[in-house]
Amino acid sequence: MTMPTANGGIAQQTADSQDAEISIFSGESHGDGERRAGNEDQRRGNNDPRHNKQPRQNNQPRRDKRDVHGWVILDKPIGMTSTHAVAVLKRLFQAKRAGHAGTLDPLASGGLPIALGEATKTVPFVMDGRKRYRFTVAWGEERDTDDTEGRVVKTSELRPSADAVRALLPRFTGLIEQIPPQYSAIKVQGERAYDLARDGETVELKPRPVEIHELTLVEHGDTGQSVFEAECGKGTYVRALARDIGRILGCFGHICALRRTLVGPFRETDMIPLEELEALCNRAASGEGSLADALLPVETALDDIPALAVTRADAARLHRGQAVLLRGRDAPNSSGTVYVTVAGRLLALAEIGNGELIPKRVFNLTGLTASPGRSNEKV
């Protein structure tokens, strides 16, 4: 989107695209095939280095942390928790702050956007975006976790035809009501649903409205499995889709494979395997490359937000947390959230209202940022 300049400032630019070492918002249930945050470590054995602290070998000093700002879209491997992935990248980059934009199950692979430094301020914009998944449903068994990690609770000898599956998909497309899985991070009277489920309690979770923009059957053979692709909004549980489709077909089902291919503005082409990141880190340590090459600019998370360029004088006011009056024929006549730039550099997130530009989040991008070439890429 485009916006006119404020106060006749620098030419308008459009984006191409909780602090600390935490999985940001991981205490809440966001669905989207995303599992019980926090519980993922307990079920597999907590492999977060922060919870298994070991004494440093040979009295080696701690590595100095540094300011690193940007996004890394990790192609998370199967078996790794999202919390562990954040810890690994934080160590590779020696970053002071890091967090992820939406938990991805250990069972799942694919896009895990990890925000470093000032990018953590833009995490909510990614979490609110659409997500796309490719997932495989195994027919004949329903499990208490709705995936392969759970115990079998229902079985059937029936196997659905491709036509029967396709005929049902319109019922699960658009705005629908969905009951979250028993093993989810939904709170019930102050307790997480997954904690209650582990204790053997049956939890009555209320249906919630979710939006599924697209649901297609990709493959259906004689193996008793079907492959789907789904594009959905915030709060959708892909595991619940497999459960509900299986119940209606009378054959039951659970997810046996899951890959996330889109998160907000970040696509599969933006993903970097962990092995590639580690190799880049080794090259950078020997002076043959830079970890900046793995970073996407902070503003790539703001793809759907209009940009507004301001003068250096107005930028100084905004940086101090002061509002700027918008006047003159070039002043925008809209309201709402914008991200502000000065001389092509991200400055702040701000609100336009009552003729003023009011800063809400100011960015300090001093330190390691994305390589200049990556700033011009379309995410």
The string of DSSP letters for 51-73 reads GS--PPGGGPPPPPPB-B-EEEE
Collect all residues with Cβ–Cβ distance below 8 Å to 219 and sequence separation of at least 6: 226, 227
Q: Is 105 a catalytic site residue?
A: yes
Does the pLDDT at position 15 exceed 50?
no
Which pLDDT does position 62 carry in this prediction?
Answer: 63
Which pLDDT does position 204 carry in this prediction?
Answer: 78
- Summarised one tens digit per residue, pLDDT across range 324-343 is 988 775 567 677 899 999 99
pLDDT band, residue 362 (cuts 50/70/90): very high
How many residues comprise the chain? 379
Cα(28)–Cα(300) distance, integer angstroms: 24
pTM of the model: 0.80
- Summarised one tens digit per residue, pLDDT across range 97-140 is 999 998 888 899 999 999 999 999 999 999 999 999 999 999 99
Q: Which amino acid is at 252?
A: F
Q: Which one of the listed residues 75, 105, 244, 270 is annotated catalytic?
A: 105
Phi then psi dihedrals of residue 354, to 5 deg: 55, 40
Q: What is the DSSP letter of 283?
A: H
Of the candidates 81, 27, 30, 42, the one whose C-alpha atom is nearest the C-alpha of residue 192 is 27
